[in-house]
Amino acid sequence: MGGVRVAAWAPPRPGGWREGDPVGDRRFLDLPGPVDLARGGSLPAVRVAYETWGALAPGGGNAVLVEHALTGDSHVAGPAGPGHPTPGWWEGLVGPGAPLDTDRLFVVCANVLGGCQGTTGPSSAAPDGGPWGSRFPAVTVADQVRVEAALADALGIDRWAGVIGGSMGGMRALEWAVALPDRVDALFFLAAGAAATADQLGTQTTQQAAIRADPAWAGGDYLPGPGPVAGVGVARRIAHLTYRSALELEERFGTAVQDDGRYAVASYLDHHADKLAGRFDAGSYVVLTEAMNSWDVGRDRGGVAAALSRVTARSVVAGIDTDRLYPPALQQQVADALGVPLRLVTSPYGHDGFLIEVDAVGALVRELLGT
């Protein structure tokens, strides 16, 4: 294992990080293959892009893993700049004196398997030198965690002081605590569930359908040029409505119409659609939402309750009181199984409150980790 060599080619993909782009704060690790996957496929090798903050203590006992959500990446904290189109997505949670105090802790965040910000995904090079595209195999949350475990091994981390994640990141955090309980001291499970629901399957398969309906999708093997940005934009509009609360949208926009004739709320969704299409790969969007659709921590473990009985980490389970995508009842199920109280964060922002309410979330992190 070692640092990845930057290849000369650039995959013809809109959005996402490409070989030859500025590296920014990323580091890279090559994992030799083959890497076998839970749903029957395999990859000949996997590259992992990750970032770190702080210093690893002798013995590695101060390491904390932060898990990003669907359209997040390894850039938890830090400014936008070359290689990073946006500032850190949990800015304020990581740094000296912050809840994840880098004077004491070694914080790691890796771009997820199947992503488009440096870790192997559909826009990465296949063995023939072209992008994987439609040939990229299906991945699961369990596959993603096994890749993260290999990264931890390479970094000399036998056991995490904490694994922290919200939304899709919460799924991986819980998978860590269930699949590898002897490697997790503390679990922070936020704004997620133990298994996908019909509502989530419905909204996410509809997002996938929007991408696939774009003629530029070309079966996942789209050509150079803008690519299926229209489909990604529609998918983002659908998703963003599930990320926010009806209360916030009504109070913020109501039925106001802008000077250009658009409803203000439609203009807001257009803005977020354009932003995502410029930084995220359509193939990764489909692969990662399918991983979320297949999520069930109890599969092949005797059910959710039996799976959660394997958790030995001290745990904080939290939700957002206005979350309509991952409503608090889903976190209550996990909290009850782990024998801990459900901690609710009050927010008008719905599901996105897990990213926005940094002070409230940070307080819970401090409580869990003693920072």
Residues carrying an active site annotation: 167, 323, 351
Backbone torsions φ then ψ of 183, nearest 5 degrees: -115, 10
147 neighbors 48 (Cβ within 8 angstroms):
yes
- d(CA 229, CA 183) in angstroms, rounded, equals 40
Q: How far apart are CA 360 and CA 366, in angstroms?
A: 10
* Pairing of the two strands 27-36 and 42-53: antiparallel
The tokens for 84 are: 């990073």
3-state SS of the chain is: CECCCCCCCCCCCCCCCCCCCCCCCCEEEEEEEEEECCCCCEEEEEEEEEEEECCCCCCCCCEEEEECCCCCCCCCCCCCECCECCCCCCCCCEECCCCEECCCCEEEEECCCCCCCCCCCCCCECCCCCECHHHCCCCCHHHHHHHHHHHHHHHCCCCECEEEEECHHHHHHHHHHHHCHHHECEEEEECCCCECCHHHHHHHHHHHHHHHHCHHHHHHCCCCCCCCHHHHHHHHHHHHHHHCCHHHHHHHCCCCECCCCCEHHHHHHHHHHHHHHHHCCHHHHHHHHHHHHCCECCCCCCCHHHHHCCCCCEEEEEEECCCCCCCHHHHHHHHHHHCCCEEEECCCCHHHHHHHCHHHHHHHHHHHHCC
Alpha-carbon separation of residue 66 from 72, 261, 370 (angstroms): 11, 42, 16
Of 228, 248, 241, nearest in space to 270 by CA? 241
